Structure 1
């Protein structure tokens, strides 16, 4: 009696990891174990006699990209001066942006900002005050909270605003890009 070699215990076909299933009598039956896809192959005397292997194993497919559960935000659309008729009047913008307390140090209108507050601007540059450790000789004044984030008054005066999610925001980036800081008046000036 000729003894046939034992079939291997596993194989790979089209990305399916096939395991030998000896429970099918004379035929060697192979089933996919990498994924519950139901792929199978049969072989008798070394000849493939049947198969469901027509496509790569689903286990090879990359998992779907995770989706962000938050609703998509509409893009920010800046409103330029050419079309600033749609931007509310300065007094309306100031009313929208008024805050009775500083969002950083919680000081009220007319009170000096806390000495650690990062909201006040440098009176010389109009930018954030440098850290005392970085520039020990630089001294910035600590102004009172006036109800507006630095630059909001200037944005309202020049109607530099954009709308997102139905809300008007000051376009501080445009103010800093197009404006010039006047250290004598301690304000941003925008030409034109």
Structure 2
């Protein structure tokens, strides 16, 4: 595997919105937190969504995928709008994939 721009980017020790530390869950009203079922902003998901809390990793969700796909405006500037409108969220792997990539189901770990 080759190094991507996101791999070389320094990790942010705290979420820029809710101040969660790496490895800690975002707070309930954090607009950086991701719904792990849909890949979209957690604030927008229904309260009945069974997804687990999103944990701050040091990078916003999608940064690594943008670098991997070459969807960057420049060093350290991922094109997240392109990612959210073009790529597909895979809840099994909890990452964005190109539209033609097979996906796994979160509950069964099977390819669909």
Q: TM-score, normalised by structure 2?
A: 0.71
Q: How many residues align?
A: 99
1:86-119 alpha-carbon deviations (Å, 9 max, x no partner):
xxx7444333363111111111111222222221
- Which SS does the other structure have where 1:157 is aligned? helix
State the Cα distance separating 1:136 from its structure 2 match.
3.5
Q: Secondary structure at the match of 1:116?
A: coil
Instruction: State the match for 1:184 in structure 2.
Output: 92
**Match of residue 147, structure 1, among 58, 72, 80:** 58
Q: Which runs of 4+ in 1 moved over 6 A?
A: none
Asked if residue 117 in structure 1 is aligned to residue 30 in structure 2, the reply is: yes
2:7 matched residue in structure 1: 94
Gaps of 5+ in 2: 101-112
Aligned to 1:138: 49
Q: Please give the secondary structure, in 1, of the residue aligned with 2:15.
A: coil
Structure 1 unaligned regions, length at least 5: 1-88
Larger of the two Rg values belongs to structure: 1
The answer to whether the Cα contact below 8 Å between 2:65 and 2:95 also exists between their aligned partners in 1 is: yes
Over aligned residues, Cα RMSD in angstroms? 2.4
Q: What is the TM-score normalised by the length of structure 1?
A: 0.45
Is the strand fraction higher in 1 or 2? 1
2:81 maps to 1:173: yes
